[in-house]
Amino acid sequence: MHRVKATDILALRDIFTERSAEERRLFDERLDDTTRLLYEEALANEWCDGAELARLHVAAAEVLFPKRKQGLADLGEQLALRSYSTVYKLVLAIPSFSFVVRRAGALWSSYHDTGIATIEEQTERSLILVVREAPEFPPALAGVVSGTIRALGQITRTKNVRVREGGDPREWRWQAVWTRRGTP
């Protein structure tokens, strides 16, 4: 079982408190009892079952981003933007996008109990985040990771960050490319 820190769940709760009663009802209808319990009771520093978290993310993306091809990435972006505190956003705005993503790769094990993340094929305006040894990583969470990378681009004022995800249980890959960094 791939376990993940439940950090995103707090941001997800915040998002749904701001949504309409109809959207909250649609979201609730998509949750089974176990997933609902995770949503209602998880603490940010707790480990949760990655497959269960993936089901929660899929349900949220279906309601928040219906008919969007990259709904999970859109959700991941929103969760990351909400999860990072104001102070953390200020600190992240200083270094370059590639520096921040390299650190995010190094922090993989803080949020996932399996997998080794490395950065490969880095150029001035592209890099590939690779995660190996995470055979039970839920594929739905790959989209959420893509969105998190896009959010890091926004925070670092990097222009046109695009992320393409791929891979399989042997090797998960996220290729990020960008145009340039914006001015403060």
Domain limit, last residue, from 21, 41, 70: 70
Nearest to 19 by CA among 97, 69, 75: 75
Quick count: other Cβ atoms within 10 Å of Cβ 180?
Answer: 12
The range of the structural domain enclosing residue 33 comes to 3-70
For the segment 155-184, what is each residue's pLDDT rounded down to a tens digit? 888 889 999 998 888 899 999 999 876 544
Based on the fold, state whether residues 115 and 66 are members of the same structural domain: no
- Domains: count for the chain: 2
Residue with the bigger pLDDT between 82 and 58: it is 58
State the pLDDT at residue 133: 93
Of 21, 38, 70, which residue constitutes the final position of a domain?
70
CA gap 2, 10 in Å, rounded: 20
What single-letter amino acid sits at 126?
S
Residue pLDDT, tens place only, 55-79: 999 999 999 999 999 999 999 999 9
Q: What is the pLDDT of residues 106-158, one digit of tens each?
A: 778 888 999 999 888 778 889 899 999 999 999 999 999 999 999 988 888 88
Q: Round to whole Å and give the CA distance between 134 and 115.
A: 4
Dihedral, CA of residue 164, residue 179, residue 81 and residue 74, to nearest 10? -40
Same domain, 110 and 27: no
